[in-house]
């Protein structure tokens, strides 16, 4: 007999080898109907697995969060079966679950196109409807290779060879079709349900190696129910409409070009947003007790060697030889022993150089440095993506040097700063992750215990909820990640706080403690926005280009109906400017509706229109972006209201 414990604390005895299916059936019919898998001692498993020793089990229902991964995995198997049923000459390779869905890579002479999707989806629906039960078998290695080779599945043979010798070779069958797979799976293909859709097709090299054959990768998405699927597809559609690269062009904010891959050319309007954001963050960090500094772009490789970047980060750095012009030639002379410099990929080592000037005492701590640090990282061209992934970035960076007993209070202070900024910027949903010690790490276990506890305590002390990201900390210390949810439900990691015990050691930072001894400060690396480039990209997409008034490059356009009122309109413009507003005029000889339409397309938040009557009465007709109709108010009233709305949130 085996003892099986349940989440409610109950422990029951079963005959050894009893399956989860038998147990759930014996508990309740309605529970059995919804249950698609189970966890044995926390690990997901097939419901049909036998229980051979004492364990804790937990049933997974189809609408549980955990089932989503199973739905997607099963759906990938269904996709593969459908493709092979339709095109038997196709070889199957791998088909993992990814964020929001799955893909499967197929080897076929003729690549798939989106035109094939309708037929594949139809076939998938049939397979799901057939409801073949997933069954698991453990095969002999050589036998498995023989079977797959006979089917012409050369990729599977290669995959089998790559599986460690001590691992069981598992085959999952669904009716006649079977696949090499680690599992687990749900009960039958029917559990996949109807909420799936193929989304795109792309080329992908076998094993990601461009020397190998190009395979055809079909992507799909799958959800618990059609409502979720619909919401996801809507989100994708919205995201396309809001794409910051598209809006950046339409609103004349910035551009990127081949000659400066991954570095942004900011246009006047885009740079206006950039400057507003920078000024805003500068005011916030000043108020939070930071001292702003500016450190060099180019620094000697010797410093990067000391900091450890040279050995760990070298490939991502732009290295520049320190050249001198030869006296008589117009030619660069690279001496073989010339020094190597590198563009900074991070600001941290430079901040320690500033800290190290002069003797610091415990009374000087915490010392908080801030920098709008322009960094360069040699990201692969293929990974670059508009403002979201660049090679030249400006971090709203900062480093806090403090004593170990100040970690908790500094973490609390930083969280308060983040809350206030995110609230100002309209992000109300923030998810916090505490990333803990990775396998490869520096520092003793006691130090890690203390650091992880310090971060956790600070979050708990302020009543913040957080999740643990096991093993995802940096090698030098644990970190907090702050993920923002945008207007269409996407999550963006922006803020970070990383504890570091290593860099102060490597770059010999120290302070004199109360007892006169020399101590290492703890270094907290932190950023609120992350980088200005990416954050502006997020803001553009979050607002679909309709920036809040204080960030809008042009806040007001003053437009006239007839040229007779131009002088009166100029007076309005002067008043708006005097109130600090960014104003443009539109006195062109065009129909007013045409003018309004054009400025609305440019997402200008307010348009003030003057005709004969307004000029006579000292009023303006106010049209607001996204609102129907217009309101006639006195010039003074309009200016005051707009100026109030245009005040940055921290100055209100
Ligand atoms: Zn599988
Ligand atoms: Zn740093």
Q: For residue 357, what are its two tokens?
A: 């000037």
For residue 316, is pLDDT > 90? yes
- Looking at 223-232, 324-333, 556-565, 621-630, which range is the least confident one? 324-333
Q: Please give all residues whose CB falls under 5 A of ion ligand 1, grouped by chain where several chains appear.
A: 181
Q: What is the pTM (predicted TM-score) of this model?
A: 0.83
Q: How far apart are the first and last CA of the chain?
A: 70
Q: Regarding predicted confidence, which is higher, 328 or 425?
A: 425
Rounded Cα gap, residues 580 and 558, in angstroms: 15
Q: Clarify whether 140 is annotated catalytic.
A: no
Cα 307 to ligand 2 centroid, rounded to whole Å: 11
Answer whether 365's CB lies under 8 Å from 235's CB: no
pLDDT at 86: 97
Rounded Cα gap, residues 160 and 179, in angstroms: 11
Rounded Cα gap, residues 600 and 251, in angstroms: 11
Cα 396 to ligand 2 centroid, rounded to whole Å: 11
CA dihedral 577, 581, 587, 590 (to 10 degrees): -170
pLDDT at 344: 96
pLDDT at 440: 84
Cα 64 to ligand 1 centroid, rounded to whole Å: 20
Q: Regarding predicted confidence, which is higher, 331 or 235?
A: 235
536-574 residue pLDDT tens: 999 999 999 999 999 999 999 999 999 999 999 999 999
313: confidence class by pLDDT, cuts 50, 70, 90: confident
* Mean pLDDT of the region 44-72: 95
Cα 362 to ligand 2 centroid, rounded to whole Å: 21
What ligand is nearest to the CA atom of residue 344?
A: 2
101: confidence class by pLDDT, cuts 50, 70, 90: very high
pLDDT at 524: 96
180: confidence class by pLDDT, cuts 50, 70, 90: very high
327: confidence class by pLDDT, cuts 50, 70, 90: low
Catalytic choice (145, 309, 344, 377): 377
Q: For residue 310, what are its two tokens?
A: 């040279």
329: confidence class by pLDDT, cuts 50, 70, 90: low
Question: What rounded mean pLDDT belongs to the chain?
Answer: 94
Q: Where are the alpha helices (DSSP H) in 369-470?
A: 407-424, 445-461
Rounded Cα gap, residues 557 and 361, in angstroms: 55
Q: Clarify whether 399 is annotated catalytic.
A: yes
Q: DSSP letters of 565-606?
A: GHHHHHHHHHHHHHTT--EEEE--SS-HHHHHHHHHHTT-SE
482-505 residue pLDDT tens: 999 999 989 999 999 999 988 999
What ligand is nearest to the CA atom of residue 70?
A: 1
Rounded Cα gap, residues 380 and 316, in angstroms: 9
Q: Clarify whether 385 is annotated catalytic.
A: no
- Count of other CB atoms within 10 angstroms of residue 589: 7
* Mean pLDDT of the region 363-387: 95
209: confidence class by pLDDT, cuts 50, 70, 90: confident
pLDDT at 330: 62
Q: For residue 416, what are its two tokens?
A: 């308060």
Q: What CA–CA distances, in Å, run from 572 to 168, 594, 622?
A: 79, 21, 12
pLDDT at 61: 96
Q: Clarify whether 377 is annotated catalytic.
A: yes
Cα 188 to ligand 1 centroid, rounded to whole Å: 13
Can you tell me whether residue 136 is helix, strand or coil?
Answer: strand
For residue 336, is pLDDT > 70? no
Q: Clarify whether 599 is annotated catalytic.
A: no
Q: Clarify whether 397 is annotated catalytic.
A: yes
* Mean pLDDT of the region 221-245: 95
pLDDT at 355: 98
* Mean pLDDT of the region 419-424: 96
pLDDT at 326: 60
Rounded Cα gap, residues 426 and 539, in angstroms: 10
Please, which residues bridge with residue 138 across strands?
170
Answer whether 296's CB lies under 8 Å from 350's CB: yes
335: confidence class by pLDDT, cuts 50, 70, 90: low
Q: Clarify whether 170 is annotated catalytic.
A: no
Catalytic choice (351, 479, 543, 599): 479
Q: For residue 459, what are its two tokens?
A: 């979050």
Q: Where are the alpha helices (DSSP H) in 440-553?
A: 445-461, 503-506, 532-542
Rounded Cα gap, residues 480 and 435, in angstroms: 6
* Mean pLDDT of the region 182-188: 95
How, if at all, do strands 340-343 and 430-435 pair? unpaired
* 342: nearest Cα among 309, 380, 384, 385: 309
């Amino acid at each position: 007999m085996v003892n099986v414990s349940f989440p409610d604390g109950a422990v029951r005895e079963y005959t050894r080898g009893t399956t989860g299916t038998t147990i759930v059936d014996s508990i309740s019919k309605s529970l059995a109907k919804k249950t698609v898998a189970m966890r044995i001692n926390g690990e997901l498993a097939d419901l049909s697995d036998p229980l051979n020793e004492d364990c804790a089990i937990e049933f997974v229902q189809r609408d549980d969060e955990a089932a989503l991964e199973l739905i997607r995995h099963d759906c990938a198997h269904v996709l593969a079966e459908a493709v092979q049923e339709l095109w038997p000459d196709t070889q199957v390779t791998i088909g993992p679950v990814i964020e929001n869905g799955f893909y499967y890579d197929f080897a076929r002479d003729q690549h798939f196109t989106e035109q094939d999707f309708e037929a594949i989806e139809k076939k998938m629906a049939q397979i799901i409807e057939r409801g073949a039960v997933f069954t698991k078998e453990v095969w002999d290695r050589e036998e498995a290779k023989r079977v797959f080779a006979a089917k012409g599945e050369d990729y599977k043979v290669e995959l089998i060879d790559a599986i460690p010798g001590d691992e069981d070779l598992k085959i999952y069958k669904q009716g006649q079709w079977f696949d090499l797979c680690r599992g687990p799976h749900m009960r039958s293909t029917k559990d996949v349900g109807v909420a799936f859709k193929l989304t795109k097709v792309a080329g992908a090299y076998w094993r990601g190696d461009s020397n190998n054959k190009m395979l055809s990768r079909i992507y799909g998405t799958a959800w618990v129910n059609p409502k979720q699927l619909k919401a996801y597809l809507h989100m994708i559609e919205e995201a396309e409409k809001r794409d910051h690269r598209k809006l950046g062009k339409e609103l004349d904010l910035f551009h990127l070009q081949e000659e400066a891959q991954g570095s942004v050319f900011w246009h006047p309007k885009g740079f206006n947003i950039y400057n507003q954001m920078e000024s805003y963050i500068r005011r916030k960090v000043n108020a939070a007790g930071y001292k702003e500094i500016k450190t060099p772009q180019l620094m000697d490789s010797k410093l990067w060697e000391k900091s450890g970047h040279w050995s760990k980060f070298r490939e991502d750095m732009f290295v520049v030889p320190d050249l001198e012009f030869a006296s008589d030639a117009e030619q660069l002379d690279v001496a073989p022993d010339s020094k190597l410099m590198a563009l900074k990929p991070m600001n941290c080592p430079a901040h320690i150089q500033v800290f190290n000037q002069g003797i610091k005492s415990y009374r000087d701590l915490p010392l908080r440095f801030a920098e709008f640090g322009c960094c360069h990282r040699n990201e692969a061209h293929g990974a670059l993506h508009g403002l979201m992934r660049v090679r030249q970035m400006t971090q709203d960076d900062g480093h806090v040097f403090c004593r170990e007993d100040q970690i908790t209070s500094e973490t609390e202070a930083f969280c308060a700063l983040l809350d206030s900024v995110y609230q100002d910027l309209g992000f109300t949903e923030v998810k916090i992750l505490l990333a803990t010690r990775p396998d490869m790490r520096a520092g003793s276990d006691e130090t890690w215990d203390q650091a992880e506890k310090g971060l956790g305590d600070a979050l708990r002390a302020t009543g913040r909820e957080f999740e643990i990201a096991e093993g995802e900390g940096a090698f030098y210390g644990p970190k907090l990640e702050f993920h923002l949810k945008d207007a269409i439900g996407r999550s963006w990691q922006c803020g970070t706080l990383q504890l570091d015990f290593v860099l102060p050691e490597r770059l010999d930072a120290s302070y004199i403690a109360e007892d006169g001894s020399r101590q290492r400060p703890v270094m907290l690396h932190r950023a609120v926005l992350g980088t200005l480039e990416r954050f502006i990209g997020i803001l553009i997409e979050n607002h679909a280009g309709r920036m809040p008034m204080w960030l809008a490059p042009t806040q007001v356009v003053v437009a006239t109906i007839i040229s007779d009122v131009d002088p009166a309109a100029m007076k309005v413009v002067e008043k708006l400017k005097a109130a600090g507003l960014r104003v443009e005029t539109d006195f062109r000889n065009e129909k007013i509706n045409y003018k309004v339409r054009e400025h609305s397309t440019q997402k200008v938040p307010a348009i003030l229109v003057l005709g004969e009557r307004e000029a006579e009465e000292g009023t303006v007709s106010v049209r607001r972006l996204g609102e129907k109709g217009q309101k006639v108010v006195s010039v003074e009233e309009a200016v005051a209201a707009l100026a109030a709305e245009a005040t940055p949130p921290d100055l209100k």
